[in-house]
Amino acid sequence: MQKKEMLDKLRYDIINQDICPDLRKQATNLVFGSGNVDAKIMLIGEAPGKNEDLSGEPFVGAAGKLLNELLLSVELNREDVYITNIVKYRPPQNRDPFPEETVQFLPFLKKQIEIISPDIIITLGRHSMNCFLSNQQISKIHGIPRKMKLNVNKLQNKYKEIILIPFFHPAAALYNGGLRDSLFLDFKKVAKYLN
Ligand code: URA
């Protein structure tokens, strides 16, 4: 099967298995992921907001615009990367995803990683970082790349070697100049990995 078919199947599995039915009932669209399925860089956010829910695409609102600027600052654009979120339906009023919602979507995120097979995973925000690294503070480890063996398929005991780079969430930087500067600096610092 081609990557696109595998991703389509995964998308239908989320619907057919009725993952997070309460979120699904309130959502307009399932926001699965977008970008280059052969990308070496995969970015993982938290959950869709209003604009993403309406369009069905991740990071198309204000945080998405800042993300585009960050990518451009290291000479990348959306076609060079694949972008998704942990939770694929918008939480009401943009609240943080509940831990049980993250738990329900995690096997699908891992499968998505297995299909895209990136070399580098960039987590955006602490919720996304916590899916890969527990008991860490984003304020201490943002912008620091680390090698990881990711167990993408527990049943088949499959591991994928990746470089994980935790970044602050662009939404948090929209109204905080210090965080915004930090994000641009972090992108510059790891540009050699990204390019
Ligand atoms: N914030 C996220 O974490 N994901 C989106 O898709 C949009 C905003």
Per-residue model confidence as pLDDT tens digits over 113-128: 999 999 999 999 999 9
Binning pLDDT at 50, 70 and 90, where does residue 154 land? confident
Binning pLDDT at 50, 70 and 90, where does residue 194 land? confident
* Cα-to-centroid distance, 156 and ligand 1 (Å): 31
pLDDT at 187 over 90: yes
Largest CA distance in the chain: 45
Q: Residue 141 CB: number of other CB atoms within 10 A?
A: 14
pLDDT at 31 over 90: yes
Tell me if 57 CB under 6 Å of ligand 1.
Answer: no
171-192 exposure pattern, b = at least 16 Cβ within 10 A, e = fewer: bbbeeeeebbebbbebbeebee
pTM higher than the cut 0.85? yes
* Cα-to-centroid distance, 32 and ligand 1 (Å): 11
Ordered by start, the domain boundaries in the chain are 3-194
Beta bridge partners of 150: 160
- The CATH T-level fold of domain 3-194 is Uracil-DNA Glycosylase, subunit E (3.40.470)
Tell me if 85 CB under 6 Å of ligand 1.
Answer: yes
Distance CA 114, CA 110 (A): 6
Distance CA 162, CA 61 (A): 28
